Amino acid sequence: MISEKMEKAFNDQINKELYSEYLYLAMQAYFERLNLKGFVNWFTVQVQEEHAHAMGMFNYVHERGGEVELEAIEKPQTKWASPIACFEQVLEHEQFVTSRINALMDTADEVKDRAALSFLDWYLKEQVEEESNVGGVLATLKLIGDDKKALLMLDKELAARTFVQPVIG
């Protein structure tokens, strides 16, 4: 059985994961407006990943006998000055999510919920991968600068990304 404190912490994180999905959907729409279909694809995969992350936690809370309480999802930003500005926000957001996963693990440690710690280990490893992936795209965008041909080459590269349903926990 999940503790009340742990249940509340997971419910808060489920909201954060759903916000991430919503934010990346807004970013997907931004790149649609720019007609950069590879970037659209990259964010389509991000949206799917964030949904899977939220549902993994959703299912975990239920498996532990807890109750999921969904809260309102904050409206995300919808416009950015440039692809670089957008990816700077993605990196900042992923770092925020990492801090939230760490806080969730701190709560699990505090209430001595070893099952939650084991479950959350996957999320922590996923965040390392997320930050690295986003950091790579951002570094390339900064290297590209205003080179439209290079931007289109990166767009083509990002079009190859595919979603793989994660095995969480």
The CA distance from 160 to 36, in Å, is: 13
Extract the residue ranges of the chain whose pLDDT is less than 50: none
Q: What pLDDT shows up at residue 46? A: 98
* C-alpha closest to that of 57 among 116, 99, 135: 116
CA 169, distance to chain mean position in Å, is: 16
pLDDT at 103: 98
Quick one: tokens of 159? Answer: 């079009």
Q: HEC states along 119-163?
A: HHHHHHHHHHHHHHHHHHHHHHHHHHCCCHHHHHHHHHHHCCCCC
> CB neighbours (10 Å) of residue 146?
7
pLDDT reported for residue 169:
74
Instruction: Domains for the chain: give ranges and CATH numbers.
Output: 4-158 (1.20.1260.10)
